[in-house]
Amino acid sequence: MTYQSFIGLEVHIHLLTKTKVFCRCRSAFGDEPNANVCPVCLGYPGVLPTLNIEAMRMGCMVARSLNCTIPGRTWFERKQYFYPDMTKNYQISQFASPLGQQGYMELEGRGQAGPVKKKVRIKECHLEEDAGKMIHTGTVSLLDYNRAGVSLLEIVTEPDMESGEEAEFFIQELRRIVRYLGVCDGNMEEGSLRADANVSINLPGQGLGRKVEIKNLNSSRFVRLGLNYEIKRQGSLLDAGKTVTQETRLWNENRDETMPMRQKENAQDYRYFPEPDLPVFCPDESFRGSVEKSLVELPRARMKRMMNDYGLSEEQAELICDEKEGADYFEAAAREAKLLPRDRNFRGDEIPLRIANWFLSDIKHILNREGIALRNIASFKLSPPRLASLIAMLGAGRITGKIAKQCLDTVIAEDRDPEEIVKANNWEQLADPASIAKSAEAVFAAESVTVTELRELIAANDAAKAKRRRTLTAYLVGKVIAATGGRADPKLAGQQVELLLNG
Instruction: List, in sequence order, every residue forming a beta bridge with 157; answer none if it has no partner.
Output: 122
* Least distance in angstroms from the C-beta of 177 to ligand ADP: 18
**Binding site partner of 148, from ligand ADP, Zn ion, none, Cβ cut-off 5-8 A by kind:** none
- Interacting residues with ligand ADP between 140 and 179 (CB under 6 A): 156-159
**Binding site partner of 302, from Zn ion, ligand ADP, none, Cβ cut-off 5-8 A by kind:** none
Q: Which of 432, 431, 430, 385 is nearest to 411 (CA)?
A: 385
- Interacting residues with Zn ion between 293 and 312 (CB under 5 A): none
Of 11, 16, 21, 41, which one interacts with Zn ion (CB under 5 A)? 41
Q: Which of 182, 177, 214 is nearest to 195 (CA)?
A: 214
DSSP code for 360: I
* Least distance in angstroms from the C-beta of 25 to ligand ADP: 29
Segment near ligand ADP (CB under 6 A), from 1-9, 51-59, 133-141, 463-471?
A: 1-9
**Binding site partner of 127, from ligand ADP, Zn ion, none, Cβ cut-off 5-8 A by kind:** none
Q: Which of 197, 171, 41, 65 is nearest to 111 (CA)?
A: 171
Distance in angstroms (rounded) separating the CA atoms of residues 338 and 301: 23
Phi/psi of residue 94, nearest 5 degrees? -120, 135
- Under DSSP, is residue 449 helix (H, G, I), strand (E, B) or coil? helix
Of 28, 38, 261, 374, which one interacts with Zn ion (CB under 5 A)? 38
Q: Helix 448-460 crosses helix 433-446 at what angle (to 10 degrees)?
A: 100
Q: Which of 434, 357, 439 is nearest to 394 (CA)?
A: 357
**Binding site partner of 25, from ligand ADP, Zn ion, none, Cβ cut-off 5-8 A by kind:** Zn ion
> Which residue is at the shortest CB distance from ligand ADP?
8
Distance in angstroms (rounded) separating the CA atoms of residues 208 and 256: 26
The strand order across the sheet containing 273-274 reads 90-93, 77-80, 273-274
Query: How many Cβ atoms are within 10 Å of 161's Cβ, its own excluded?
Result: 26
**Binding site partner of 159, from Zn ion, ligand ADP, none, Cβ cut-off 5-8 A by kind:** ligand ADP
Assess 16 for contact with Zn ion (CB under 5 A). no
Q: Which residue lies nearer to ligand ADP by CB, 8 or 100?
A: 8
Q: Which residue lies nearer to ligand ADP by CB, 79 or 211?
A: 211
Q: Residue 351 CA to chain centroid, in angstroms? A: 24
Of 48, 142, 203, 208, which one interacts with ligand ADP (CB under 6 A)? 208
Q: Which residues 6+ apart lie within 8 Å of 53 measured at CB?
A: none
Assess 198 for contact with ligand ADP (CB under 6 A). yes
Distance in angstroms (rounded) separating the CA atoms of residues 15 and 76: 17
Assess 95 for contact with ligand ADP (CB under 6 A). no
**Binding site partner of 156, from ligand ADP, Zn ion, none, Cβ cut-off 5-8 A by kind:** ligand ADP
Q: Residue 196 CA to chain centroid, in angstroms? A: 21
Assess 211 for contact with ligand ADP (CB under 6 A). yes
Segment near ligand ADP (CB under 6 A), from 82-90, 197-205, 232-240, 367-375?
A: 197-205
- Under DSSP, is residue 133 helix (H, G, I), strand (E, B) or coil? strand
**Binding site partner of 395, from Zn ion, ligand ADP, none, Cβ cut-off 5-8 A by kind:** none
- Interacting residues with Zn ion between 315 and 344 (CB under 5 A): none
* Residues near ligand ADP (CB under 6 A): 6, 8-10, 156-159, 198-200, 208-209, 211, 267
* Residues near Zn ion (CB under 5 A): 23, 25, 38, 40-41
